Each structure stands twice: as C-alpha cells, then as structure tokens.
Amino acid sequence: MGLVMSSHVLTAIDAEGSPVAMFGVVAVNMLTGVAHPWFLGTDRVFMHPRELLCIGRKVLTCWRDEYPCMENIVAADNDRAIRLLKHWGAEFGGEETHRDVTFIRFAFPAIQALALAA
C-alpha cells in the first residue's frame, strides 16, 4: 500500500544487485505539507550502517522541501529502527496501540536541523 500511495520511492540495492531497503513518502495533506515517510529494510540493511545513515539523511532533507511536516509511527519494541530514526534526527512523542502492538509517534524537525546533522 505504501509503495502504491507514495509520491517518492527509492530502493537501496547492494553490490550483488539485491534490494536491501526501500524508502518512501506518502502525502497526507498537500495543502499543509503533511506526509508520512516510511522505511522497510531487510536484515542485511544493517550490514551497511554508514551508507544507510548518509542516504537516509539526504533523502529526508530532499523530501522536506516538499513536505515540511513528516511524521509517522514506529513499533515501540523495534529498537534498531528507533536508533536509526534518532540518527536521522527524528523527535519522538506519545504512544498509541494498534492491534495490540504499541507504537511511538515520531516527526522530523525543521530542515535546517537535518542539514546540519548531515
């Protein structure tokens, strides 16, 4: 669903030509610039931490030009994803539950802060 609804999608491919991750962003409200960024990665994505950090920051910075308010949720027990989001500059808010799974809200701060972190 995210792939079909996204205005932008990128696939990260390793040296062997295999996909290891996908990034996307779904516009929620074009008038207010609200969007939901998403990221799906295989277990192999963590074999490329430096590339993942750099590419993620660049992608998010580009998307901020179009979507000044990017926010979504992440499973509260997904420690690796939460650490990655922190490295990318996400700020975290309240919790919510969907189908007995607890999620934490996150959002990305102003574009200037992301650019400085890159």
Helix, strand, coil share (%) of the chain residues, nearest 5: 35, 40, 25
Structural element, H or E, at residue 36? strand 34-41
| Domain at 2-117, CATH homologous superfamily | Gcn5-related N-acetyltransferase (GNAT) (3.40.630.30)
Q: Would you state the pLDDT for residue 2?
A: 78
Q: Would you state the pLDDT for residue 113?
A: 43
Q: Would you state the pLDDT for residue 110?
A: 59
Q: Would you state the pLDDT for residue 33?
A: 87
Q: Which parts of the chain register pLDDT below 50?
A: 112-116, 118
Reading the block at residue 17, the tokens are: 């030509």
Q: Is the dihedral of CA 79, 118, 46, 23 positive or negative?
A: positive
Distance CA 35, CA 24 (A): 10
Q: Would you state the pLDDT for residue 35?
A: 94
Entry pTM: 0.83
Q: Would you state the pLDDT for residue 52?
A: 85
